[in-house]
Every structure is written in structure tokens, then in C-alpha cells.
Chain A
Amino acid sequence: MKEIRPVKEKVLTVSELTARIKKLLQARFFSIAVAGEVSNLRRPASGHIYFTLKDADSQIPAVCFREEARRLGVELKDGLEVTARGRITVYSPRGSYQLVVSEMEMRGAGSLQLALAKLKARLAAEGLFDPGRKKPLPPLPSRVGVVTSSSGAALRDILQVIGRRFGSIGVVINPVPVQGAAAAAEIVRAMEEFNRWKNVEVIIVGRGGGSAEDLQPFNEETVARAIAASEIPVISAVGHETDWTLADLAADLRAPTPSAAAELVIAEKRELLLRLERLERRLGLALNYLLGNLRGRVERALRSATLHDPRRLLWRSRQQLDELAGRLNRIPAVRIGFARQKLGDLNSRLRRRAATRLSFARQRAEALRLRLEAVNPEAVLGRGYSFTRRLSDGRIVTAASMLEIGETVRVRLKQGEFDSTVSRIFPAGGARRKKTEI
């Protein structure tokens, strides 16, 4: 049998083949997004992160280098479902390819919500949220513990209500981070510290508003358990008007905002002070009325036609009355009592007016500050955005259609700038990425 041999056979070396594979893969997969599950996560001291991205049938090695790893918005864990953006590189010495990741985001928020729902059901089944477990607030606490960030808006709001004003009580702040990986453990520790020292009679734990991710520490099992286990009554104030975190469910009382929590704490005291004021007023009025009444009766009796003897008797009673009234007014307690009522009245009116004006002014200042911050361009650049200018006329580029291939643009980052030449253009509605050669 004759052997059939191809006419021209090109025999490649391993290196040549690998080089071609490398060129092919790296060009073809220069910018891709891949969905998969994180596994085999390794974080060596170098700061680079190595892991495997996989699905049911395949897997691919992946790496996220230190620079990008620092800016990754996701807390990587084995088992996490993610969408990773990056490019394929081929490592010739080992004949392997990998995904070099530049960005990552979580997938399946649904699965996270499911996990939360399961945890909630499990804790509820244990009775952690039972109304029967909830303790009443102490009526006249002398000190309240506050577990929150020392620099956050929540603390500021609480102190505005409690602070040093009329009806105030002492405050002990136990500062903790209220978002991020370390938060849950710190919150748990703060709760345990107060329970160990027992230096406060009620605790407010909370933070201002934020995204679901920001609020995550308050949905951790450890935090819910620590709050439920606290012997000191706990008010949760996780600044989210409608949604309840596990912390809210476990607490003895839940307030929609930190200020509302503070109001709850001093409600009893304010109520008692008001009651006292009212009693003092009634006391004075009762005496006044009594005196007036008696005087009136005596005078009426005098005016009516009577016999001499009774008139003399009545005249003497009237004198006695005047005498008594004189003595009465000389009693310091009585004079002070009347003066105090008046003072108390004026005082509360003055306080209310001042407080309103002060808080109004504060609100306005705060609103202006927030508006100013929102339009601060530095803040935007700091988050990784950049803006691009055409060198031809210096105009800022907001649409790809404003550019031509070969045109030079200048890109301004938070720190520094660089020039770039447009090699390809993708008009809006096409592929997501705009490629520039750096």
C-alpha cells in the first residue's frame, strides 16, 4: 500500500505553536466578562489573588493582581457567584491560559436574599425574635450606651436629641465601624462590653442609611444573637425606614431612625417633667381660687342686709381673711411657688423657640453642605472615573461620535493625566468598551 503523505507539512516548534495560540487567544479575548463560581481562593503575601472560576462543566484559572485587587468591590469567598471582567493571557512556560481579572461584581443577589431569608427563619424558629423576650425600657435611665460610628450622622442625630439639653441624660459612646468586614465582630464586642460593665441602663445600636451591602453587618447572625442576648434593653436604629434587619428584629425596641431611638429613651423623663410642671401650676391655681372664693363669700355676706351682730362678726372674719392673705404672701414658699410657675412657663416657651430656630438653621446648613458635596468633581474622580478631552479643541468628550480614529485625546485622572490615540470607535449601543492604545 502506498503511503499518502500531504504535499506540504508545516512542522511547528512548541514555542511557535504556543506563540500563535497566545497571539490568538490574547487578541480574541482581550476584554471579556465571565460568569462563574469562585473556588480555590488563595491570597499569598504578595497581595495578588489567585482563584479558579468554574461552572458545572469547566473551569479556568484566574488571577487578580494586587493593584486591581485592592480596588475590587467584592469580598471574595469560595462559593461566591460572580461576573469577572478582564482578559485571557497565556503563560507560555507552562502552556496554560488564565483569566486576568480587572473588575468583579456579585451575581445572584437573589441567592443572597435567599440566604438571608433562611437565616431569618432559622433564628425566628429558635424564638430569638419573640415578643415575649423583649424587655421594657427603663423609666428613668441615667446613662444610655450608644454603639455606632463615632463620625457618622447617626451619632450626631442622637446627640442632638439627648445632648446636654433640658431632660438630658448621660451618654457613653462605644465607637464601632458600621459597615465592612470588621463591623459585625466589633458590634458584637461592644454589646458584650456594655453587658459586662453594666455602666448604662439602655443601649442604642445603629447607623445611618445605606445600601443593602452597607447594612450587611446588621444582618449577621452574630450581631442578631448578641443583641438578643443582651441583658440591658436594646433599641435598634438602623437608618432604613421600611426594611427591618435581623438586628431590628432581635432588639427589644426598633426605631426607624437614630433620632427616634433617642426620643424613645428620654420620652419617659420628658413626660414626667411635663407632668410635674402641670402639677405645680394646678397647685398654684387651686390656692388662688380658694382664696378668691373665700374672699368673695365674705364680701357677699357683708353686702346682704343683716343684723348688727352678724355684720360685726363678718367684718371680723373679713379682717381675719385679709390678715391670712397677708401672712400667706409673706410665706416665702408661696411667693416662690408663684414666681416659679411663671418662670417655668416663660422658660419652656423660650426653650422651644430657641430649639426650633437652632435646628432649623442646622438643617439648612446641612442641606447646603450635602448639595455642595454632590457636585464636587473631585469626589467623582476619586472613585475611578476620568474625563477625556479632545486635544483639537479641548472639549470634553461625552460621546464616541465626537472622535475620529487617529485623534489624540487627553485623559484626566484624579492624579495626573495621559494622552491617548483613538484606535477604534464603538458608537453607543454597540459593544461596551472603547479601546485605546496606551
Chain B
Amino acid sequence: MQTVEKTYETLLVDEVKPGIVTVTLNRPDRYNAMTNTMFREMEQLAWDLDTEDELRVVILTGADKAFCSGYDLADAEELPHLGALGMLDQQERAARALAALRSMRVPLIAAVNGAAAGGGFSLALAADIRVAGPGAKFNAAFVKIGLSAGDLGVSWLLTRLVGPARASEICFTGRMVGAAEAAELGLVNQVADDAVAGALAIAEQIVTNSPGGVQLSKRALQANLETGSYAAAIELENRGQALLTRSSDMPEALAAFKEKRPPVFQGD
């Protein structure tokens, strides 16, 4: 996979198993805090990964102890001096990176190995699936620095994941949510002894399924969160299912089932 060969200043990218790529935020001395370089690299990497037809799952994690401590406060001091529209540019630069990661064709699993705070919390929420390590902790720290939790998709994603009342509590208090509570709330799918190993176990199950089926499942889940009616959501589903019956993977799956062998998907 060509994309994996490139090097980045703030990210480590590795194909750990065929079709499974890990992206590690790599500023451990700053608890993997986000910088403009990181936002640019994230967006470019997401674009590049999305061209890779062999890619099936991306796992996102942090180097060393933290997942991501949010926007680097060393840079945050400059934010009030940017000017109102300069700040809007800054905000859009960050939002672009998270949107590019979230909208990749393949599932994105966040392996939350440690603290996910502020923008790091937003980043974890942008994934399709979250696996927490025992040391994972989450907070919407925004209100602690004079900003709101309307940041990088938190107000949209958190509400949908845990409901409006829990989202309100987490956002208005800015308190820490530990791994066990996060699992109870459904904020993470599971707590594993090792977040990356847990994410990898899920990824390995995903890659046994048809690439087209997984892709259109992801697209349907995301798009139908935003679709205005049940009928419109079903229309979108119907088109996808009808389309997938035209791919060679569905007959292959049925043949494999009859012949009691694992299917070999082409993803075409």
C-alpha cells in the first residue's frame, strides 16, 4: 500500500495486517496534542488512504500514554489574537481534518489508549467504533478554557451516541469520564486490556466480510443519521442493497455458504 510508505511529522502509519492500517498520533511529549501540521497531515492522509482499494479498516490511536490531549495549548495562546475570521479559518482547518477521517470509505476504529480531551475527544467521536484501554478517559474540556462544546462535531456526535441528557452533563461540567463509565454510557463499544489489540480483534472480523457490504453499511449508517425521514432512509437502503446484488461478492458469499467454505471476496 503506497500511502503507508510516506512519512509524516506528527503521525505514524503502518499496515499491521493485510488491509488493516494503524494511524498513531505521534507527539508523545505533548500528549499527542493537535497542531496545524497535524491537521494538515491528517486530512492528506485520509485523502490518500481513501484511494487505496486494498484498505479495509483504519485504527486510530495515540503514541505512549495519551490518546490525544486536544489542541496544543502552547499554540492556543495565539488563538485570541488571530482575529475573528482568522479563528474561523483555524476552526475550519481542524474540522476539515476530522471530517476527512470520518468520511473515509472504510471503518475507522479509535483505540483510545489514554486521555482523549477537547479536540482529542472530538477525534475519538469521529470514529465509527471506539475501543477503550483501562486508562482511557474522556472530557469535553472546552468550557474550561472559555469555549463551548460546539467543537469539531461534539455537539452532533456525542448527543447521538449517549443522548441529549448525558451529553449535556458531560459538556456543561467538563468532567472526566473514565473507561468503565464510558462503556456503560455506550460512549465506547468496549473496554479492552489493550486498546489497539481490542480494535484489531474487531478489525479482523470486519475484513472477513465483503468490502462493498461494509462500505455501504458505513455510508448508510452515517447518511441516515442525517436523513430527514424514515421513508427517505429506506429509499437509500433499498438502492444500496439492489446495487450490491450486482457485485460478484454476493453470489460468492452464497456459493461459499453452500459449499461450506469461507468466501473469497473480490470487492468489485
A and B together in one complex: no
Name A's B-contacting residues (CB within 8 A).
none
List residues of B whose CB falls within 8 A of some A CB.
Answer: none
